[in-house]
A and B are shown apart, each in its own frame.
Chain A
Amino acid sequence: MATQTTNIPDELKNDPRVPEDLNNNIFITTLDKIYNWGRKRSMWPLLFGLACCAIEMICTAASRHDLSRFGWELMRASPRQADLMIVSGTVTKKMIPQIVRLYNQMPEPRYVVAMGSCATSGGPFKEGYNVVSGIDKFIPVDVYIPGCPPRPEALLHSFVKLQEKIEKQSIRTVRWYTTGKTDNGMLVPYLGPDLVDLRRADEIKQKTAL
């Protein structure tokens, strides 16, 4: 059960509203806790691999490390059914429009784990002309894992960290339950003479002006 629960208080023990056989079987908690307790243990990751890290991600899901101990084993191939994107590998300029589009297609609440040094910062391939210096240039990241590639244990650790983060969220404050703040997703960059981030389009036009 949720981390902090209490048994039924003494003054309620003889309360006629509580059936006798439920005495000592009722727990009181907050809505946030029970809600976060449920969803943090049934994340559906997006079945989506990019590079070497995807192999370690598959190993994490396999018998030895067994992702299902955390209730996260239901990998969905469709972003519409997924809660979590594990960016497992080098993010290239050619691939980033698709990744941002996948992210936008995931329903909220959605989380992103940047797995490995490539997804975090570009890693060993950072200087490459087709490599994006980290996925966080385009979509928000919740947990970063170092490593090239991170071991399966490190990926599991990132899940524990993400669970901690989810525990701290409150239904009252998270954006996706508030009215008036719709999520339009992130702007999808396009491939021109180089990768064009539309959020910077004005600046690009200014700097390249002849």
Chain B
Amino acid sequence: MSEVTATPAKPAAKPAAPAAHGAAKPVAAAKMTPEMSAIAAKFGGAVEAAQYEGLLVTDHSKFIEIATYVRDVLKYNQLTNNTATDYIKDGVIEVVNQFTRVPQGGAPLTLKLRVPRPSGNDKTQPVPSLCPLYPGAEFQERETYDMYGVVFEGHPDLRRILMWEGFNGWPLRKDWKEAYYEGDTKPFESRWPGGDHKLAEERVPWEDNVNYPPGFDPFAFKPHPDGDIYDSMLAPSDGTVSIDNGHGVAPTLIEGLNASEMAELKTDEIIVNMGPQHPSTHGVLRMVVKLDGEKVTDLKLALGYLHRNHEKIGERNTWLHNIPYTDRLDYITGIYNEWGYVLGVERMMGLKTTDRVEYLRVITGELTRLASHFWAIGFLLNDLGAFFTPALYFITERDLIIDLLEAVTGSRMMCNYMRFGGVSRDFTSAQWAMARELAFERLPRTIDELDHFLTENEILKARSIGTGYMSADRCIAHSLTGPCLRAAGIGYDVRRADPYGYYDRFDFNIPVLYNGDVYDRYLVRVQEMRESLKIIQQALNQAETQSKVGDIQGGKKAYNHRVPAGQCYARVETPKGELGYYLVSDGNQNPYKYHIRSCSYINLNSMKEMAVGQKVADSVVILGSLDIVLGEVDR
């Protein structure tokens, strides 16, 4: 589009450096919001405006005090994102924390901490952990530790989470090279036309994707990849659970015995490992549960079995390269993941989109939401024991949606549909008719049918009402988002809280229920499907009258977009919750930092608290109600 002001029309002959970090040119400090000013006024010398956005906490000893102020006075009650960035030229690793107000929404508040960059594979100096204030920080800080070696002081269980204990190095540090390392940024020399392309295996000395430190002896090495996951669970407990989550702190009572008799009865506790190959863990998730009888007294998750290094690859890729990779995050809802990413890049580049594009994005995005909820409900029923029959019906409906997406984009699941400032293709008139048929005829009937057969089903209700309860306050503290949060009475939806796209043009509701259990999560999903349909119907109608056909590929049609130096946290409401992209650009054609705030991953944080005190069979149902996709959990 000609009116779009994007990157300079002529890329400079030299790279567009000076880069933002450690470059000679000083970078503009962040604009102070009223909240930031309040912090600066109260904690004067401890904070200063950071580059681009947020506040930099210079006095680490004040950090917990500041975070408490942020939580209790400024009411930023949810830690939405925690990650780090390695500014190798400045010699620092910067820890980034982003806080939001739930359910009010609005722009997040950013607090940054800088620690000196250690040499080699050493860990950094400790920084204060946010876990005591925000329990939702637990998994996120473990990931930051795993990827950057940042030590969080006061973290209850600081182990590697995506990689295994004993792995050599901190993968996301800029000077850490993977075995198939070829260059810092793509396109690699060997892949240019005329390049001498060899297999990756032929370029490395090991002829394989491995790298060992000098002096490593494979015969003498004692592997310990789980860390002390079992040891930490071995301490015997008295059958009571330490977490008061409403499921009872009392020991399980055997019929006919009272509490004191029960206390004399010695029952064994056993530790059971489920996964990573287990039909009920929705992929390669691994749960270790400690059981007293059938009651779960402790639960730990082991993740990373599908960690495919999305973020490291993302930093090597050009900006455009990353779009198809985002499809493979939450592979049930590919298009919505792309949306979050292009939204962030568009904001940094200042691109504008046309009406047609926004309508197409809403239509395809909401169709994937329907597909995802069909899938989620089908497999929740699977976990409840209705093996595959309900799922068969819902997969049939999902296939119809997928058919349309395939016709439009060319691929069933990995659509690669969004572009910066546009989408790749418009609907043809036949596809438009297909979409209308689905949205007005077929899917409303199916959802009615689903509702009719399942919602009042006795077994479904018996198994799910009261199961996996978590109160609204705990949900917020655990950084839970998506249908699970809305089932606990918090009407927080990014489509309303931090609007994007054309959602303000449609009349729809955010369904909220109040019991916070598995049944309400199911009901919220059903109601959300109806709201999605309403949105699609309105979008189809409006697009016909208010948008020009074919006006879709906005922005510069370039292979190597240059994104102006800056930072951005863009978020969208996927069917699973808040999916955020934290992007840092140094003005080059690759992201300097590419972090995904994955809702599936962070929602799992609350799994332990929901499952402890319940039966082991219910823990599977709770997992099903959280609706995770491992591609996004492990990335």
Contact = CB atoms under 8 A, between A and B. Distances in A.
Interface in B376-432: 391-393, 395-396, 399, 412-414
B277 A51 contact: no
Interface residues of A, number: 54
A194 B169 CA distance: 10
Given A48-B277, A51-B283, A89-B306, A208 B213 contact: yes
Interface string A55-93: 110110011100000000000010000000000011010
Contacts of B216: 192-193, 204-205, 208
B413 A56 contact: yes
Contact of B331 (A51, A125, A131, A132): A51
Interface string B200-240: 11000110111111111111010101000000000000000
Given A95-B306, A129-B178, A196 B218 contact: yes
A191 interface: yes
Contacts of A132: 209
B414 A133 contact: no
Main secondary structure of the interface of B (DSSP, over half): loop
Nearest to A201: B218
B331 A194 contact: no
A92 B305 CA distance: 6
B179 A205 contact: no
A89 B328 CA distance: 11
A102 interface: yes
B279 interface: yes
Contacts of A192: 166, 212, 216, 218, 221, 223
B316 A59 contact: no
Contact of A133 (B208, B223, B325): B208
Given A48-B277, A51-B331, A192-B218, A94 B163 contact: yes
B413 A193 contact: no
Contacts of B283: 49-51, 54
Interface stretch (B67-75, B307-315, B609-617): B307-315
Interface string B320-344: 0000110010011000000000000
Interface in B141-164: 162-164
B332 A102 contact: no
Interface string A178-210: 000000000000111111111001001101111
Contact of B309 (A131, A151, A197): A131
Contact of B414 (A52, A195, A205): A52
A62 B630 contact: no
B628 interface: no
A137 interface: yes
Nearest to B394: A62
A126 interface: yes
Residue from B179, B308, B328 having most chain A Cβ neighbours under 10 A: B308
A16 interface: no
B440 interface: no
Nearest to A194: B210
Contacts of A122: 209
A194 B176 CA distance: 14
Interface residues of B, number: 62
Given A62-B392, A127-B200, A149 B212 contact: no
B304 interface: yes
Nearest to B283: A49
Contacts of B166: 191-193
Given A124-B324, A208-B216, A52 B331 contact: yes
A128 interface: yes
A131 to B, nearest CB: 5
B503 interface: no
Interface string B168-212: 100100000011101000000000000000001100011011111
B362 interface: no
A198 B305 CA distance: 20
Interface string B254-289: 000000000000000000000011110001100000
B167 interface: yes
B208 A208 contact: no
A198 B201 CA distance: 18
Contacts of A133: 200-201, 208-209
Contacts of A126: 180, 200, 209
A156 interface: no
Interface string A142-170: 00000011010000000000000000000
A192 B182 CA distance: 24
A196 B221 contact: yes
A210 B215 contact: yes
Contact of A205 (B201, B217, B332): B217
Nearest to B209: A133
Given A51-B631, A193-B168, A201-B218, A62 B396 contact: yes
A201 B210 CA distance: 13
B312 to A, nearest CB: 7
A48 to B, nearest CB: 5
Contacts of B219: 201, 205
Given A128-B308, A193-B212, A208-B212, A94 B164 contact: yes
B284 A95 contact: yes
Nearest to B221: A192
Contact of A210 (B214, B276, B413): B214
A23 interface: no
B596 to A, nearest CB: 15
Interface of B: 162-164, 166-168, 171, 178-180, 182, 200-201, 205-206, 208-219, 221, 223, 225, 276-279, 283-284, 304-310, 312-313, 316, 324-325, 328, 331-332, 391-393, 395-396, 399, 412-414, 630-631
Interface of A: 47-52, 54-56, 58-59, 62-64, 77, 89-90, 92, 94-95, 98, 102, 118, 122, 124-133, 137, 148-149, 151, 190-198, 201, 204-205, 207-210
Give the top 6 A-B pairs by smallest Cβ distance, nearest first. A128-B309, A193-B168, A129-B178, A52-B331, A62-B395, A191-B225
23 contacts: A50-B283, A51-B331, A55-B413, A56-B413, A58-B395, A63-B396, A90-B306, A94-B225, A94-B304, A95-B305, A102-B277, A124-B325, A127-B180, A128-B308, A130-B307, A130-B309, A149-B413, A191-B166, A191-B167, A193-B168, A193-B212, A194-B179, A209-B215
